[in-house]
Amino acid sequence: MLANLQDKMQNLAQRRNVRVLKIILAVSELPMRKIISLICFLLPLLASAEQLQIRPDAPSRYVVVKGDTLWDISEKFYEDPWKWPYIWGLNKETIKDPHWIYPGDVVYLDRSSGTLRINEMGMTGAQATRDGSGAVRLSPRVREDISSHDAIPSIPVAAIAPFLSRPLVVDDDALKEAPALIGAREGRVILGEGDTCFAKGLTSNMGDKWQIYRPGKKFIDPESGELLGIEAIYLGNAEVTHFGDISTVSITHSVQETHQGDRLVVPSIETATNYLPRAPERNISARVISVYGGVSQAGQNTAITLSKGARDGVEIGHVLALYHKGEVVKSEGKSYTLPDERYGLAFVFRVFDKVSYALVMQTKLPVQLLDRAQNP
């Protein structure tokens, strides 16, 4: 059994990290239990070393500035910035909150190990000096504490903030059953911020703060034809000033014109803004079925809708590679289908049952409808 184990480890040594595995082979006289324990300890290191590639132009050090993200910082050093949990030597158990790097910190690249380390800003304690008699005199120093609000996020939160507290996708009948605006005084049909209107179906136990929505496009799975949900178009916020059979409502914020028949929805609880990027544990193959804003193409930091959701194993934090379908070309009277082209990465930040929303983090080409998103 030991001989078989040594053969397997020698094969691994040729394909991965020779120096570390030679250590294992050198201790082959140890009991089998200890050898196996050592293998289990070292294999995660071998896996991460195999996964990370330092950029040829990577700096030796970088000073963190306001507006940076962990993705941005890692991209300065590595070919795959979404693998920053491996880069920083972290895992899902230890990164409950990834906000632990601050503006002013200096990030150093250890090229020998391929990892990053931080010279943290902020000093504590007292400054000691000696007088002529040799006595030590202590003088206080200012302690600098950094607010967690100043920490560097994993991805650009500002780009996804508008999507975190809104339904975005609803079932076919959900908006039909929601309270509805039935009109305004003087026959007004177009309403905006500061206007008063009237609604039916509101009760005081539901609260006085609401969001206004209008049913949008239907999300259809391009492969199966299944109805995945209805896009909920956010119009603004409203507050109930008087409850009754017909309630009085004031529009407190407006991003689009509000009309009779638009629906009122209770605001969602904002989801967490700390994200751990990782590859899906199971195979995911989705299609881009919508680009937020109703356009047909997307660029970097644009939100896109994918045709897979929680029921398909998609989770918040999943990173997916974006592919264009290979074009069909003709040569010498024959038709050839070119290979699909990988051109970018998308980061899943919100998941519904049948669809999910992702932020385009990297792209060399415009993201187009029906492009494929799959495991990187």
Give the domain ranges of the chain. Answer: 2-51, 61-119, 169-265, 285-374
- Angstrom distance (rounded) from CA 319 to CA 166: 22
Residue closest to 212 by CA, chosen among 225, 193, 230, 227: 193
Q: What DSSP element (H or E) covers 298?
A: strand 297-298
Nearest-angstrom CA–CA distance, 318 and 281: 9
Per-residue pLDDT band at 272 (split at 50, 70, 90): low
Report which of 305, 375, 371 is spatially closest to residue 340, judged by C-alpha positions.
371
Q: Which residue has the higher pLDDT, 343 or 151?
A: 343
Mean pLDDT of 341-358: 92
Q: Identify whether the C-beta of residue 355 lies closer than 8 Å to the C-beta of residue 219.
A: yes
Summarize pLDDT for 117-128 with one digit per residue, the tens: 777 444 333 444
The per-residue pLDDT for 177 is: 82
Residue 306: pLDDT band by 50, 70, 90 thresholds?
Answer: very high
Q: Fold for 285-374, please state it.
A: Thrombin, subunit H (2.40.10)
Q: Please compute the mean of the pLDDT values over residues 319-329 and round it to a whole number.
A: 87
- Residue-wise pLDDT for 197-231, tens only, equals 999 989 888 888 999 998 888 899 999 999 999 88
Q: Are 286 and 374 in contact (CB under 8 A)?
A: yes
8-22, 103-117, 139-153: segment of lowest average pLDDT: 8-22
d(C-alpha 123, C-alpha 143), whole Å: 6
Q: What is the pLDDT of residue 132?
A: 53
d(CA 68, CA 101): 10
Higher-scoring residue by pLDDT: 340, 373: 373
Structure tokens at 123: 């000093």
**Helix (H) or strand (E) segment spanning residue 167:** none
* Distances 140 to 79, 120, 125, 128 between C-alpha atoms, Å: 45, 20, 7, 9
Give the model confidence (pLDDT) of 179-196 as tens digits: 999 988 888 888 889 899
Q: Residue 105: CA atoms inside 13 Å, Cβ hemisphere, count? A: 21
Q: Cα dist. 282→50, 320, 344, 374 in Å? A: 20, 12, 20, 10
Using CA atoms, how far apart are residues 334 and 329, in angstroms rounded to an integer?
Answer: 8
Find out whether 313 and 367 touch, Cβ atoms under 8 Å.
no
User: C-alpha angle 239/217/255, rounded to 5°?
Assistant: 35
Q: Would you state the structure tokens that stand for residue 113, as one six-digit string?
A: 């190990």
Q: How large a percentage of the chain has pLDDT more than 70?
A: 72
Q: What is the pLDDT of residue 239?
A: 93
**Residue 6, token pair as written in the block:** 């040594």
Domain 169-265 has CATH 3.40.190: no
Kindly state the tokens that stand for 129: 């000096």
Residue with tokens 């000033």: 241
371/376 Cα distance (integer angstroms): 14
Asked whether the whole model's pTM tops 0.85, one would answer: no
* Pairing assessment for the beta strands 169-170 and 196-200 based on DSSP bridges: unpaired
Helix, strand, coil shares of the chain, percent, nearest 5, are 20, 35, 45
Is pLDDT above 70 for 139?
no
Task: For the beta carbon of residue 24, count every other beta carbon within 10 angstroms.
Answer: 20
Element (H, E) at 271: none
Confidence category of residue 274, pLDDT binned at 50, 70, 90:
low
Buried-state track 46-69, b at ≥16 Cβ within 10 A, e below 16: bebeeebeeeeebeeebebeeebb
In the predicted structure, residue 267 carries a pLDDT above the cut 60? yes
